[in-house]
Copies of this chain bind each other. A is one copy, B any other.
Amino acid sequence: MAGDGTWTVYLSGEIHSDWRERIAAGVREAGLPVELVAPVTDHAASDDVGAEILGEEEEGFWRDHKGAGVNAVRTQTLLRRADIVVVRFGEQYKQWNAAFEAGYAAAIGIPVITLHDPELTHPLKEVDRAAMAVAETPEQVVEILRYATS
């Protein structure tokens, strides 16, 4: 927590649904002492940022590598400074970065909350096992944050 009692919550994972907005709305309505932080969620901006700032690359691997590095400057810091990490897994895409960040957070002792549909239970069992709570809806996450920060 910051000195004024604000909790920093890092919202990791899926960027193609409105789960962050729903958590933000819930936090706002409930007036929780929570600051939400997140990776850049504009997919194209995130993919292109390395090439755009540091120069275009011919090979896709290095283009991705550059972009992932610039994103990591942001996410590694947000992750290490967070009080709680919420990790969202959706139906689409591999989302290995979400699982990677869950592992990183678990290793340094930051409580993890996962957020996903029950259909993903089996493949997420190791990640869920390391989490303190497994939610199915953003509203449940808001309730956990309300309880944690009450």
Contact = CB atoms under 8 A, between A and B. Distances in A.
A106 to B, nearest CB: 6
Contacts of A59: 62
A126 B100 contact: yes
What's the dominant secondary structure at chain A's contact region?
helix
A108 B135 CA distance: 27
Contact of A127 (B5, B96, B106, B121): B96
Task: Count identical subunits in the complex.
Answer: 8
A128 B65 contact: yes
B96 A147 contact: no
B104 A72 contact: no
B103 A54 contact: no
Contact of A96 (B6, B84, B95): B95
Given A70-B132, A95-B123, 10 more contacts: A3-B3, A3-B4, A54-B135, A54-B136, A70-B144, A73-B132, A97-B99, A99-B100, A100-B102, A104-B106
